[in-house]
Structure formats: C-alpha cells, structure tokens
C-alpha cells in the first residue's frame, strides 16, 4: 500500500519574538502544493527503511518516517514493515518534505491496519518530530502560529492561478537562517493580511528569513527578482529556503531559470 506525500509552501512568514526556550514565535500560512514523495508499506519479516530517489544524508533509521512508524508499532503492535520512500521533494528547500513523509506514513499505517486514529491522535504522533509535521495530517491551507505548531484552518485558494517553484542548487541550513533574523511584532496579523487581494500581497506579506538568507546566498534573491520580471504577481522564498515560489495569472515557461535551477511548473 502506498501514498503520495505532498510538499508545502509558506505564504508569508513573520518571526515575531524569541522565546525563552530558544525557539521563535512566528506567524505563517502553510499551503499544500503538487510536488510529491511516494511512501509505501510492504509486509516484511523485520522493520526497515529503504530510501530511493534524492539522496538524504544520514542513516535511514534516523529518518522521521522510521521514528513515526516505531512509535505506532510500540503502541499498537503493528506488524513489521519495510518502509519504502521515493524522494522527489528537494531537501533543504523549505518545502517540508520530511515532515510530510512522516505525517503521510502515519496516515498510511492508520489506514492499512485500521487503527481508527482520529486526526488529533495522528497529529499527536507527529508533533514531536517537527513543528510543521502536524499540518500535513489534515493537509489544508492553515494559519500557523506560536512555534509554527498551533493551527487555524484558512479559506485560501490559489487554484485559479499558475504556481511555479524554483529550487537553486544550494542547501540552506535552518540554523543559519535563524542566526541573523530580525524579530519584531507585525502591525497586522498574517491571518488577516492573507485575505488581501493578491495584487496587495507584495506590499504587506514577506518572509522574515529572506534578509539573512539572501545575504549569504544572493542567487536566491536573484531568482525572486527574475520571477517578478517574468510577470509574477507574487514571489517569496518558502520557509527558511532555498526554494522560491511565484504566483502567475497564466501559464509561463522560464528557460533562463531552468539552466541552473530545478523548476517545477503548475504546482
């Protein structure tokens, strides 16, 4: 049995304050997009994990998919499985690929073995694995706040637009992205700003990681500029980078950006 674990983009990301526990409070909007990994469960004599496609550094048993399965197996005596992950979502891109894999793995186990877990229970299993993991359980446009792990569903629909994602050949460390950010309370909540007309987003919606990341990787800033030059109505780096998405009113082709970057169309 298999499932398709999709990526997400951040429609804005405000870093609002540094917390006493070392984390940051933030405001963001998670939006699912049509780039997918494939997660499969195969009956096996012992539990293992096989990763194909894009290389993921580290041992497979350290993957959060494997950890999520172990947690469910401990609580429900789930039979041993081989977890097969076909990795298509770029790594280190601000797209939540690993978090999505873990969440969809939990949903797949719940379905295959008829565990009867609710959305809330499944969210409970993945929350310890990453702040954005729980978003992928319901997988709907969501306003996220606190550490990025408290949610409110939003009625945001970009299906009438043409979304493009550009991933440059650089990996942005989350630690680096956080190291030089400026933290401030916004004058308006992103939860409200996201309902402005699309043509007003550029003036009001931003990603607080961009200044520090662009200083280290100016090619990401250049990608964003080129997307606007190509006619994008809105463009922004997703998460802590390195990918940049753009919203167009109609289909486009970007051969110049394809020369040095991965370009995903109609996501």
The response to whether 100 counts as a known ligand-binding position is yes
Nearest to 232 by CA among 211, 217, 253, 246: 246
Flag whether 187 is marked binding: no
Would you say 96 is a known binding-site residue?
A: yes
Residue 53 known to bind ligand: no
The answer to whether residue 107 is catalytic is no
The verdict on whether residue 95 carries a ligand-binding annotation is yes
Peptide bond into 167 cis (omega under 30): no
Per-residue exposure over 138-165, b if at least 16 CB sit within 10 Å of its own CB, e if not: bbebbbbbeebbebeebeeebeebbbbb
- Those residues whose C-beta lies under 8 Å from the C-beta of residue 68, and which sit 6 or more positions away, are 102, 103, 105, 106, 125, 126, 129
Active-site annotation holder among 8, 87, 167, 226 = 8
Does residue 130 contact residue 16 with C-beta atoms inside 8 Å? no
Q: Does 208 show up as a binding residue in the annotation?
A: no
Residue 141 annotated in ligand binding = no
Instruction: Work out whether strand 81-87 and strand 24-43 pair parallel, antiparallel, or are unpaired.
Output: antiparallel
Point out the catalytic residue in the list 37, 107, 132, 167: 132
Please state, in angstroms and rounded to a whole number, the distance separating the CA atoms of residues 94 and 19.
22
Indicate if 132 belongs to the active site: yes
Q: Is 90 annotated as a binding residue?
A: yes
Binding residues are: 90-100
User: Catalytic residue numbers?
Assistant: 8, 132
Binding residues for ATP are: 90-100
């Amino acid at each position: 049995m298999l499932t398709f674990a999709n990526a997400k983009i951040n429609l804005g990301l405000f870093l609002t304050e540094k917390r006493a526990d070392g984390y940051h409070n933030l405001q963001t909007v998670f939006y699912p997009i049509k780039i997918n990994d494939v997660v499969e469960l195969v009956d096996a004599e012992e539990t293992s994990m096989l990763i194909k496609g894009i290389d993921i550094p580290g041992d497979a048993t350290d993957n959060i998919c494997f950890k999520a399965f172990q947690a469910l197996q401990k609580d429900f005596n789930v039979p041993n499985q081989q977890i097969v992950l076909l990795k298509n979502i770029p790594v280190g891109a601000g797209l939540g690929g690993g978090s999505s894999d873990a969440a969809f793995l939990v949903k797949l186990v719940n379905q295959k073995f008829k565990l009867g877990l609710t959305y809330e229970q499944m969210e409970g299993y993945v929350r310890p694995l990453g702040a954005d993991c729980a978003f992928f359980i319901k997988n709907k446009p969501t306003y996220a706040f606190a550490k990025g792990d408290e949610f409110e569903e939003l009625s945001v629909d970009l299906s009438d637009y043409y979304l493009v994602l550009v991933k440059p050949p650089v990996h942005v460390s989350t630690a680096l992205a956080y190291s030089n950010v400026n933290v401030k309370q916004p004058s308006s909540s992103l939860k409200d700003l996201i309902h402005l007309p699309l043509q007003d987003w550029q003036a009001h919606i931003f990603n607080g990681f961009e200044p520090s990341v662009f200083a280290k990787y100016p090619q990401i800033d250049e990608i964003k500029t080129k997307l606007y030059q190509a006619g994008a109505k809105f463009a922004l780096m997703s998460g802590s980078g390195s990918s940049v998405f753009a919203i167009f009113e109609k289909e486009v082709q970007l051969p110049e950006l394809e020369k040095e970057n991965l370009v995903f169309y109609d996501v």
